[in-house]
Amino acid sequence: MVFSIHKPTHLIALLILMFVFAVFYILPFFILTGLIPGSETQQRVTETYIVLNSAVTSILLVGASIVWLTFVDNMRLKEILSYLKLTGRNIDSAFIWGSAVFITIFFAQIVIALFLSLLGVHLENPVANEIAGALSIGSMVFIAVVQSTSEEIFFRGFLLEKIGGYSGYTLSIFATAFLFGLAHIGYGRIYPIIMPLIMGLLLGYVVVRTKNLFSSITAHITFNLVSFALYVISQSIQSVNL
């Protein structure tokens, strides 16, 4: 079905999608540039706030996708799952490809970090460290699984297919990777944008290659779980050395 501005349900779907883009791109940009003043308080971010933020983010990403596909494209649940490539078909191959992409992303991160450090780029991410430091193991697992899955549904399921339908998958992979990287602008550093951008290219490719979203979900969840695990191990080693 073609989008019609005269249909209230279509307008609602558009407004929800615009709200998601405003939250992920416009608001962080305004805060970073000082056009909108950020919080002046220096209170430590709490675990409850982080988990709730992750849950709300996940609901927004998945909700915006489902609302659009339901009310604008007039799809039913089975059609939505098929459109998003959430299918059990070739699931074994999807998991294998996802694992391979995770390994590629992991080593790519090491190479990129070494290269940027040689260029004098600061790789420290105090925002990410503060977030990880406030989380329990259970919360880390929750965020790694739930938010990673919702991001894949939105970027590699919904947007990749939408943009690909108009421009082809090559441009769609680059466009969604750029948007995925830019969604991390809130960290206020260049490295947390570059790495997700490259990660987005690989995740987009594997979804197009396998025609199964579980491939990118596998890679994304595994990457985040390993990242959290490495953080916990590093903190444990530091506490022992003190």
Write a three-state SS string for 114-141. HHHHHCCCCCCCHHHHHHHHCCCHHHHH
Whether 54 maps to a domain, the answer reads yes
168 within domain boundaries: yes
Identify whether 90 is part of a domain.
yes
Distance CA 113, CA 80 (A): 38
Query: Other C-beta atoms within 10 Å of 171: how many?
Result: 12
3 assigned to some structural domain:
no
How many domains would you assign to the chain?
Answer: 1
Neighbouring CB atoms inside 10 A of 75's CB total 18
Q: How many CA atoms lie within 13 A of 32 on its CB side?
A: 14
End-to-end CA gap in the chain? 62
Residue 39 pLDDT: 52
Q: What is the pLDDT of residue 42?
A: 46
Per-residue pLDDT of the chain (242 residues; tens, 9 = 90+): 688 999 999 999 999 999 999 999 998 888 777 777 655 444 568 999 999 999 999 999 999 999 999 999 999 999 999 999 999 988 999 999 999 999 999 999 999 889 888 888 777 778 788 888 899 999 999 999 999 999 999 999 999 999 999 999 999 999 999 999 999 887 767 777 889 999 999 999 999 999 999 999 999 999 999 999 999 998 888 777 65
Residue 100 counted as domain residue: yes
Q: What is the pLDDT of residue 216?
A: 98
- Count CB atoms within 10 A of the CB of residue 164: 19
- Residue recorded with tokens 């421009």: 167
Give domain status of residue 146, yes or no.
yes
Which domain covers residue 135, as residue numbers? 8-241
Amino acid in the structure at residue 115: F
Q: How far apart are CA 200 and CA 108, in angstroms?
A: 12
Residue 204: HSE in the Cβ half-sphere, 13 Å Cα cutoff: 29
Query: Which tokens belong to 73?
Result: 């494209």
CB 61 within 8 A of CB 23: no
Look at residue 2 and tell me if it is in a domain. Answer: no
pTM over 0.75: yes
Report yes or no on 183 lying in a domain.
yes
As a whole number of angstroms, the longest Cα–Cα distance in the chain is 65
Contact 68, 80 (CB under 8 A): no
Stated as kind and residue range, the H or E segment containing 42 is none
Reduced to 3 states (helix: H, G, I; strand: E, B; else coil), residue 107 is helix
Q: In Å, how far are 119, 159, 162, 171, 222 from 167, measured between CA atoms? A: 35, 12, 9, 6, 30
- Distance (Å, rounded) from C-alpha 54 to C-alpha 147? 6
